[in-house]
Amino acid sequence: MRLHRAAPALAVGVLAPVLLITTPSVAATAAPTAVTAPAVSLSADDPDADDLRVAIARILADPDSGRRVTQEANALLDANDPAAMRAWLETGYRIAQAEDDYVAITRLLADPDSGRRVIAEVNALLDANDPDAVRAWLETGYRIAQAEDDRVAIARILADPTISPALRAAAGAALDDNTPEALRHFLEVGRYQAG
């Protein structure tokens, strides 16, 4: 599951002047809710309609954009209302992204391959109800937690005295490499090839 997202950085690059003036905030204790587009005045410093469409198209092009982000972005492009696009990029995108992030971490709880650390961290995130913490964890923390769970899974494979020498060597190589990618590759592919 690839959870990294570069779209927020792209949107910020296009909307930097507007974002510096008004920064959105989402209360840590409130769940994300739908946003109605407030009236936004157009000035010479604001991005034009084409820039807004490009920013939204970049968000749509990101394969990791979630369902709510995709639905809202498509609806905005269909409506072709620059004021609504600007308002969504300033505040609505963050709220839609937060909802998609909560869906992503909830799916991790339902995944039978999720290990102890991933489950513990997801539960802590759900208890804290902080969209910024969820976003940060999906971008960096998930990879670290998954790697720890993968090391434990490989150690369990190595603890089995009946495994083949080829499987033992492949597991040892993955642990020696000790990168999250090598550990995950061994568990998803390597152990079946070495079998």
Q: What is the pLDDT along the chain (195 residues), one digit of tens a residue?
A: 333 333 343 333 433 333 333 333 333 333 333 333 333 334 446 678 889 999 999 999 988 889 999 999 999 999 999 999 999 999 999 999 999 999 999 999 999 989 999 999 999 999 999 999 999 999 999 999 999 999 999 999 999 999 999 999 999 999 999 999 999 999 999 988 876
Provide the mean pLDDT of the chain.
Answer: 80
Compute the distance between CA of residue 42 and CA of residue 113 in angstroms, rounded to an integer: 50
Whole-model pTM over 0.85: no
CA quadruple 167, 108, 68, 17: dihedral, nearest 10: -80
State pLDDT tens for residues 88-111: 999 999 999 999 999 999 999 999
Count of C-beta atoms within a 10 Å radius of residue 23: 9
Residues 6 or more apart whose CB falls under 8 angstroms from that of 11 comprise 55, 58, 59, 89, 93
Q: What is the pLDDT of residue 16?
A: 36
| Torsion sign, CA atoms 66, 72, 73, 75 | positive
Tokens found for residue 99: 């909802």
Tokens found for residue 34: 């739908």
List, as one string, the DSSP characters of the chain: ------HHHHHHHHHHHHHHH------TTS-----PPPP----TTS--HHHHHHHHHHHHH-TT--HHHHHHHHHHHHHT-HHHHHHIIIIIHHHHHHHHHHHHHHHHHH-TT--HHHHHHHHHHHHHT-HHHHHHIIIIIHHHHHHHHHHHHHHHHHH-TTS-HHHHHHHHHHHHH--HHHHHHIIIIIHHHH-
